[in-house]
Every structure is written in structure tokens, then in C-alpha cells.
Amino acid sequence: MDDERITPVELPEPRYEYGGDDHVFVELAEEMSFTANFKAMAITQQVADRDIEGVVENCPANASYMLRIDPDVIRPDDLIDELKAIEAETDIENYEWETRVIDVPVLFEDPWTHETLMEFRDRHQDPDSTDLEYSAQLNGFDDVDSFIDAFVGAPHMVTMVGFVPGLPWCFQMVPRSQQLEVPKYVEPRTDTPGRAVGFGGAFSVIYPVQGAGGYQLFGRTPVEVLDTDRTLPDFRDSMVFPNPGDILNYRRIDRAEYDEIREAVEDGTYEFEYETVTFSPDEFFESPREYNARLVEGEA
Amino acid sequence: MIEIEEGGIATTIQDLGRTGHYHIGMPPSGAMDRYAHTVANYLVGNDADAATVEMTYQGITATFREDAVIAITGADMSPRVNGDPIETWRSVAVEAGDELALSFATEGARAYLAVAGGIDVPKVMGSGSTYTLVGIGGHEGRALEAGDELSIGESNDGDELVGTRVGDEYVPTYADEETVRIVLGLTDYRLTEAAKETLCNAEWTVSSEADRVGYRLEGPDLEFEEREQPFGAGTDPSNVVDLGYPIGSIQVPNQPIVLMQDAVTGGGYATVGTVISADRGLLAQRQTHDSVYFEAVDVDDAHAAREERNERLEAVRAAIDGGI
């Protein structure tokens, strides 16, 4: 695999939309790209820096962003004028941010997600295979093992947090030609184990709590992304650990390591392993494979 | 202290909600019918943001262990104190040992019990609202059940308000409120023009899946514009690259789901419009099997409706302060 450059995408004109009288939704692109995501992050960062009166929620998403406003303080049209001005002066090539490269251990083909996915075979495109077998085949891999190798072979960037508190949507940091893509379930499941690692569209996710879900199920992590009681050391400041812009480095582990980490989590002693780095979109686009290697080594 | 004898079906503590945390996936929660919640608070001398008890379909039975001033608004659940009916939308004095009992809603879906001083619950991320999915806020992060004990906050001037009733012109008739106004948009380009018309003209029925997370509606099928799905969206025509969902937005996996106060904050279904802030409380008062019609308005109309609601609340407050 050579170090194929990532070409920045030409984005269409942003679409500014009203979410009733109290939200502004801005679609930067209909398709997912790092360019669209970095722009969403850059603009929402500037909205935060400007501390615009009347903006009460500021939510970057994968290829869009949404602001919630207090219409008694600011009107959507006035905000949209300001957003257009911010957009005009945003150049993501010069935009860098402090981020964390986080080790995320995953037990693939674990017994818990396996039980769940077997239970919901009737809602799946291919009832005779597992989610991993289906995803591997759809993406042109000979077997599940080589598909998992590709999944853990490059880090995944958190491009959005939401759905429920703490759920990170992650986009793998590889050129488009190498990106994995799978459909969501035909009908969403009514159950998913907490800490399940799933994949849908072009996004990996970690489900923070047990609940509904429609992504293909690949494995389960022993670590938490949400700690409502904030007993674990990494959750002292917030009950949610992942932030947009963070980089998750999924790592394949065996059952023994899963149990060992799980014990530390349950004891309240587990701490994430991560390095804080300055992320440069420009350098990443230029040489993603080499840049990722430096990120994972903590040298970016 | 209020001791809960029967918790009802889905009774939670709510205030005006939790803002500033949507970007980590935390929905605002808060009272589903902000108008009824706020008026209940005003009737007992509280600020709009004091925590109330939100009851759904079936009310609580509870014993007061101290004297208190209360008001019940919203859905009519035929409240009684020691077996005697009490008026709703009025502030009422109760004494230690009194039993308050509500039954099933005959009109509307959600009733609010405000107590002078507010229900005293710890604030989580700035709000006392319950968000049951992850178990935070309110009373132990969950719906109330028999045996729960609720503390009452310090009261200022509840006693002076006893007997105050809101004028009839400020009491909604939920049975008649079947039209909610929406602003089309977001990713409504996914629907055909005919489907947008259907959305706005059809009679929709509230399904049995209608709660604080979302109102699933039943009606005609909606057709999507054909397209080659963009990268990352997923294969279904209703799929988009996952985006943030406004509160009140209407997503269309096929049949519409209107997202409410405890909604998921984002996801990959096309959202095609948003119920305006002034009308979300009306939708929250619709019961399963009730009809709902959407009326498309522009954002200026939505804003005017909000201002009108604010003015109504201001008029109610002024009247209460003046002693109705």
C-alpha cells in the first residue's frame, strides 16, 4: 500500500436552513469527506470563540453543523449573516487543533455482540452471515481477519459526538479508495450491548449504553465512553470522554486482555492511554499513511 | 416532603431543560409542554425554571408530609385532595397528611404539578430535568415510583397566591389543538414535491410509540427523490450522512417521527422540517390515536407565534401578580 495523497474536496455552496425558529442547520456537503468535516469543526470553533449572544448550542457534525439559538435574543437570519461571514474567511488548510490520539482496545467477534446480531438476523441484509462476514465480503476482503486488519490498520477520527451522550462517530483516516463502507441494518435493532463497536455508512461508532442501533456489529470494547457518575479518572471534567477531533486508534485484543481491562474499569482505576498532539490537516492530506504512523507513535 | 404512593405511567421531574451540552449528545430534556409547566410555576410563585412533576397519561397518588401550595396544569387528570375534586390551573393549599390523587387523562396527555418552592432535586449539568436513558437528573435519574420521597424547596410567596386561577382565555383546550405548525427545510430536498404536499396535507395519527424521545406518526407513505446515495450516507433512500437533529425536527425513515425533548441528538435519517417552538407543547399533549395535521409556515410566522406565546405567559404572570 503506497502513501496515496488525500485530495481536498471541492465543497458546494453551504446550505443554510432553519430548524424552526430556534435552530440553524448548515449542510456543507451531502457526501462525507475530511474537507467537509474539518470545515464544520473550524467554523463551529470560530462560533465558539466569538461567543455570539443567543447561541445556546453549538454542534459540529460529520459534514454539517447545527446551532441552537434563543430566538428571544437573536433571529436566525442575523445569525446566518454572521455564519456566512465566518465561512468566507475560513481556510482549513491553515487550521490546526490540539487533539488526543487514544488507544481503544477492541475484542472483535466477542460473544455479546454475536448473541445480539444472531438475535436480529431477520432485520439484516444477509441473514446467513455475521455482520463481519457480510462487511468483509461487501468490501472485497477474502476473510474476516483481513477486514479487521484494515479496520485497525489506520486510526479513526471522531467527526461527531451524539445520538446519545458520548457516542463518537469516527471516520477512518485513509484515502477514499481505501475507506470501508457498509449499509446500516434494514430495520434497526431494538437492542445493542453497551460498548459495542459498530460500523454504518462510512463511520465506526462505540455505543455508550445498551439500546437501539442500526450499525453492523464488529466487537466490543472493555472501556467506557460515558461515565455518568464520573468515578473513572478520565471523566473528572465531563461524563463524556471522546470529543470531536479526537483520534481513536482501535487495537485488537484477546479475551484475557479484555477481562483484565474490564476489571480495572470496574475497580474505577482504568485510565485511557493517549498522547496529545497538534493535528495538521495539510500534513495529513499530503501523506496520510506516514502522518498516521507518526500520530500513533505520538510524534506528530 | 411529598411521599409518592403510586407513580403513574411515566412521571418524571422536569424543569426548562439542560442547555449547552448537545454537542456531546446530551439532549435538553425539560418539560414537554413548557406553557403548562411555566403557568403551574407562576401560580405558586415560582420562576419558570423551577422543577415540576410531569405526569403522562396517568397521574400520581401522593401524600404531603408538610403544608404546601400547589397548582396542577396541562392535561386534565381529575385531581382530588382527600377524595374531593380540586380545580386545575388554580393554586391550592394542601396540609400535612393530605393525599393528592390524579387519575387517567381525559383531555391532553401530560399534566404538571408545581409546588411553591419547586421540587428540590440536585442539578446535573445545570438542570433538574430527568433524562432516563442514561439515568441522570430529576429523582435518581428515573421515573417516579411508590415509596419515593420528594423534597420541596424554600417558598417565597406561595401562600399569598392560594385561590388564584388563570383566566379561561389562557387555558388551552387540548382536544381541539390538532394542527401544529412546521417550518419545512433541513434536508427536505430528499422528498419529492408530492411527498412534501402529502406531509402538509395528510391526517397523521399518533402511534403507540410516542414519548419524550419522539412522536412516531402513522399515515400515507412518503416518496423520496431518486439519487445515487452520497459517500458515507448508507444505502436507503432515507439515509443521509449523519447530522445533528434539531429538537422538534421531523425525520422520515418512512413514516414521520417528530423528535421531542429527550431525543437522540443526531443520526442518519433525512429530517425534512421542524415543529415550531410555540407548538411543540401542543404536540406533546396529543394522545396515542389522536390526529395531527402539519401546517407549513415560514420562519417569521414561527417567530411571531413564539412572541405571542411569550406575551401570553407574560400576561398570565402579570395577572397572577395582580391577584386574579
Question: Does residue A278 surpass a pLDDT of 90?
Answer: yes
If you average pLDDT over residues A18-28, what whole number do you get?
Answer: 98
Residue B324 has pLDDT above 60, yes or no: no
pLDDT at B158 over 90: no
Do A136 and A214 have their domain in common?
Answer: yes
Same domain, residue pair A229 and A290: yes
- Return residues 21-40 of B near A (CB < 8 Å): 21-26
According to DSSP, residue B54 is labeled E
Residue A2 falls inside a structural domain: no
- Average pLDDT value for residue range A101-128: 96
Q: Supply the mean pLDDT for chain A.
A: 95
Which residue in B has a C-alpha nearest to residue A183's C-alpha? Answer: B234
Mean pLDDT of all residues in chain B?
96
Distance from CA of B82 to the nearest CA of A (A): 40
Cβ B231–A58 below 8 Å, yes or no? no
Q: What is the pLDDT of residues B56-79, one digit of tens each?
A: 999 999 999 999 999 999 999 999
Residue A9 lies in a domain: no
Residue B157 has pLDDT above 70, yes or no: no
Flag if A226 and B134 touch (Cβ within 8 Å): yes
pTM value is: 0.96
Identify which of B241, B249, B265 has the shortest CB distance to residue A31: B241
Q: Per residue in B115-148, pLDDT tens?
A: 999 999 999 999 999 999 999 999 999 999 999 9
Chain B residues 203-222 with a CB less than 8 Å from chain A: none
Tell me the CATH number at A66.
3.30.1360.40
- Work out how many domains chain A is built from and give that number: 2
**Which of B32, B36, B308, B302 lies closest to B181, judged by CA?**
B302
The last residue of a domain, from among A94, A116, A140: A94
Say if the Cβ atoms of A23 and B274 lie within 8 Å: yes
Q: Cα(B92)–Cα(B186) distance, rounded to whole angstroms?
A: 45
User: Is residue A6 assigned to a domain?
Assistant: no
Distance (Å) from the alpha carbon of A19 to chain B's nearest alpha carbon: 5
A5 assigned to some structural domain: no
Average pLDDT of span B271-296 = 97
Element (H, E) at B56: strand B52-56
Partners of residue A200 in chain B, C-beta under 8 Å: 234, 268
CB contact under 8 A, B187 and A27: yes
Would A289 be classed as within a structural domain? yes
Asked if B236's CB is within 8 angstroms of A184's CB, the reply is yes
> A47 φ, ψ to 5°?
-60, -40
Å from A57 to nearest chain B CA?
5
Residues composing chain A: 300
Residue B20 at interface with chain A, using a CB cutoff of 8 Å: yes
Residue B216 grid cell: 412516531
**Domain co-membership, A210 together with A120:** yes
Asked if residue A168 and residue A71 are part of one domain, the reply reads: no
Residue A55 domain boundaries: 15-94
When CB atoms are compared, the residue of B20, B266, B274 closest to A19 is: B274
Residues B274, A161: C-beta atoms closer than 8 Å = no
DSSP annotation string for chain A: ---PPPPPP---PPEEEEETTTEEEEES-SS--HHHHHHHHHHHHHHHHHT-TTEEEEEE-SSEEEEEE-TTT--HHHHHHHHHHHHHT--GGG--EEEEEEEEEEEET-HHHHHHHHHTGGGSS-TTS-HHHHHHHHTT-SSHHHHHHHHHSS-EEEEEE-SSTTPEEEEESS-GGG---BPPPSS-BS---TTEEEEEBTEEEE-SSS--B-SEEEEE-SS-SB-TT--SGGGSS-SB---TT-EEEEEE--HHHHHHHHHHHHHT-----EEEEEE-HHHHHH-HHHHHHHHHTT--
Could you give the domains of chain B? 2-172 (no CATH), 180-304 (2.40.100.10)
Instruction: Using a CB–CB cutoff of 8 Å, tell me whether B126 touches chain A.
Output: no
Minimal C-alpha gap between A238 and chain B (Å): 10
Inter-CA distances, B169 with A79, B133, B165, Å: 35, 37, 11
My answer on whether A50 and A152 are in the same domain is no
- Looking at residue B38, what is its pLDDT? 98
Same domain, A114 and A79: no
Q: Is the domain of A199 the same as that of A264? A: yes
Helix axis angle, B299-321 to B34-43, nearest 10°: 20
Asked if the model's pLDDT at residue B20 lies above 80, the reply is: yes
| Same domain for A112 and A69 | no
Cell representation of residue B25: 449528545
The answer to whether B210 and B216 have CB atoms below 8 angstroms apart is yes
Nearest to B116 by CA among B186, B78, B67: B67
Chain A residues whose CB is inside 8 A of the B247 CB are 22-23, 68
- The reported pLDDT for the residue numbered B81 is 98
Which chain B residues have a beta carbon less than 8 Å from that of A60? 23
User: How confident is the model at residue B321, as a pLDDT?
Assistant: 83
pLDDT tens string A116-175: 999 999 999 999 999 999 999 999 999 999 999 999 999 999 999 999 999 999 999 999
Asked if A180 and A172 touch (Cβ cutoff 8 Å), the reply is yes
Task: Answer whether residue A7 is part of any domain.
Answer: no
For testing contact with chain A, the best of B19, B24, B277 (most A CBs within 10 A): B24
* Chain segment B189-228, per-residue pLDDT in tens: 999 999 999 999 999 999 999 999 999 999 999 999 999 9
Between CA B119 and CA B128 the distance in angstroms is 9
Q: Which residues contact A19 (CB under 8 A, 6 or more apart)?
A: A25, A66, A68, B183, B185, B186, B246, B248, B249, B274
- Chain A residues whose CB is inside 8 A of the B305 CB are 21
Q: Is the pLDDT confidence value at A2 over 80?
A: no
The answer on pLDDT for A1 being more than 60 is no
Is residue A1 in some structural domain?
no
> Which of these three, A62, A94, A126, is where a domain ends?
A94
pLDDT in tens, A210-263: 998 999 999 999 999 999 999 999 999 999 999 999 999 999 999 999 999 999
CATH classification of the domain holding A237: 2.40.100.10
Is any Cβ of chain A less than 8 angstroms from the Cβ of B234? Answer: yes
CB burial string A5-20: b at 16+ within 10 A, e below: ebeebeeeebbbbbbb
* B233 to A18: CB separation less than 8 angstroms, yes or no: no
Q: What is the largest CA-CA distance in chain B?
A: 67
Q: Tell me: do A46 and A176 sit in the same domain.
A: no
Do residues A67 and A144 share a domain?
no
Question: CB distance B266–A61 less than 8 Å?
Answer: yes
Whether B243 sits inside 8 A of A208 (CB atoms) is no
In this structure, the answer to whether residues A64 and A109 fall within a common structural domain is no
Q: Mutate one of A9, A17, A74 to test the B interface: name it (highest B CB count within 10 A).
A: A17
Q: Are residues A158 and A207 in the same domain?
A: yes
In angstroms, the CA B73 to CA B69 distance is 14
CB contact under 8 A, A64 and B243: yes
In chain B, positions 246-275, which contact chain A (CB-CB < 8 Å)? 246-249, 264-268, 274-275
